Structure 1
Amino acid sequence: MTARAITDRTLGAWVIKCNPHKSDLAPMVQAGRAHEHWCVADNYRTRLMAPGHPVLFWVSSHPRRGIWGAGRLTGTPVPGPQWKVSTNIALFDEPILASDIRSVASLSNLEVFRSPQQSNPSWLDASAWASIRPMLPLE
């Protein structure tokens, strides 16, 4: 049996990715909040998600690609034809650009860079989360 990379001990934060070609960013930017519910894959990662876990909002396929917001999971994933998880994610006034994140040596190999097409949820290990937290606007 292969060991799982993500455990309660290794998890730093979840990453919910949003492709603006599939989800309209304008209403979220106007509201200052990401949608409350996001589709997630039916896999072991999703089953690890729990209320209170930190979550980052990553916008892909955009000239200002990067972390646009942060918050917490507010529920456990709900199974169905398309699994969904509830979140409370406030958007930043300015995103933290992928180029700025990648310039930090310890963050240059994040999963969102290695596997940008991977389904939600993506994740950061505890070490990467510790490096990114100081980059986030004060809450």
Structure 2
Amino acid sequence: MVSAGHTAPRWCVADNYRTRLMRPGQRVLLWVTTRPDRGIWGVGRITGDVAVADGRHRVPVHIPLLPEPLTAAQLRTSPDLASLEVFRVPVQSNPSWVTVAEMTVIDALLPDSVQ
């Protein structure tokens, strides 16, 4: 993924009401949890409808990686992001939720080339 500069073209998501709300064109964030520099590693869009194959829900996406991750430590410096779902419920399955207000704050922290 890192050497390619983007994620796989399909992402596995839970079978829940949030997955049913997903639509092509919506923005997506790639949150990486398993590293010391955990946080937002990519920003992209949903490119098609959620499909079920082999009992798994997958959503087609195009998520280019950021030049540098926007780390959880950086995000925590903003009081407006204190309620991010990934902070409140870190074991939540995909997809997680970001409010419009939170996304506005995140957008201001992203490199100009991403927006």
TM-score normalised to structure 1 length: 0.78
1:30-63 Cα offsets, whole Å, 9 max, x none, are: 0100111111111110001000000111100211
Residue aligned with 1:122, SS = coil
Poorly superposed stretches of 4+, deviation over 6 Å: none
Identity %: 49
Distance in 2 (alpha carbons) for counterparts of 1:44 and 1:61: 26
User: Secondary structure of 2:3's partner?
Assistant: helix
Could you say what secondary structure the match of 2:51 adopts?
A: coil
Q: How far apart, CA to CA, are the structure 1 residues paired with 2:107 and 2:87?
A: 18
Q: Structure 2: which 5+ residue stretches go unaligned?
A: none
Deviations 1:84-125 (A, max 9, x none): 001000101110110110110010120011111111000101
In 1, the alpha carbon distance for the partners of 2:51 and 2:89 equals: 24
TM superposition score normalised by structure 2:
0.93
Equivalent in 38, 46, 49 of residue 76 of structure 1: 49
Match of 2:98 in 1: 124
Structure 2 counterpart of 1:89 = 63
| Matched residue SS, 1:83 | strand
Q: Distance in 2 between matches of 1:109 and 1:94?
A: 23
Give ranges in structure 1 of 5+ residues lacking alignment. 1-27
Superposition RMSD on alpha carbons, in Å?
A: 0.9
> Which structure is higher in RCO with an 8 Å CA cutoff and minimum separation 6?
1
Q: 2:8 aligns with which of 30, 35, 60?
A: 35
Aligned to 1:66: 39
Partner in structure 2 of residue 114 of structure 1 = 88
Q: Displacement, 1:136?
A: 1.1
The alignment of Structure 1 onto Structure 2 pairs a total of residues equal to 112
Aligned AA (1:67): I
Q: CA deviation at 1:79?
A: 2.3
Query: Per the alignment, in what secondary structure is the counterpart of residue 112 of structure 1?
Result: helix
